[in-house]
Homo-oligomer: A and B are copies of this chain.
Amino acid sequence: MYTISEISRLTDTSAHTIRYYEKEGLLYPKRQNGQRRYDDQDVTWLRFVLRLRETHMPIEQIRSYVTLFLAHGEQDTTRERLALLEAHHANVLAQLAALHETERMIAEKVDTYRRLHPTIPALDVVQSSENASVN
């Protein structure tokens, strides 16, 4: 069982943020004398949450997911959770595609600059028609 400062170190996340995530309904740690205690499952889950956040899944959506998980037992929420995951999966794939395309654009511009260096004439002359100005 970890204290908040321990899980903070383990996940490289401020205690402030961890408490904030709890307030937002993403975490439900045990309590000992009123203090938060986290087990390995909590650490694993927090790491997953951080992953989802890195990929810009809104906190509200993560909360929906957790809520469904907590509702399990009362009723079967597997279908809904799968739907949420699949939606975010599609989202991540779209992000990947956009990033990939932008990566290509930037790599191309970097290349253009590299070819110009160290003798730099008027830049606009050297551009392809696609990249009408280097910018």
Interface of A with B (CB < 8 Å)? 40-41, 44-45, 48, 51-52, 54-55, 65-66, 69, 72, 76, 78-79, 81-82, 85-86, 88-89, 92-93, 95-96, 98-103, 105-107, 109-110, 113-114, 116-117, 120, 123, 131-135
- State the main secondary structure of chain A at its contact with B: helix
Residue contact A100 to B96, C-beta cutoff 8 Å: yes
Give the docked Cα–Cα distance between A85 and B89 (Å). 29
Query: Quick one: copies of this chain in the complex?
Result: 2
Residue contact B117 to A79, C-beta cutoff 8 Å: yes
Closest B residue to A88 using CB positions: B106
Residue contact B110 to A85, C-beta cutoff 8 Å: yes
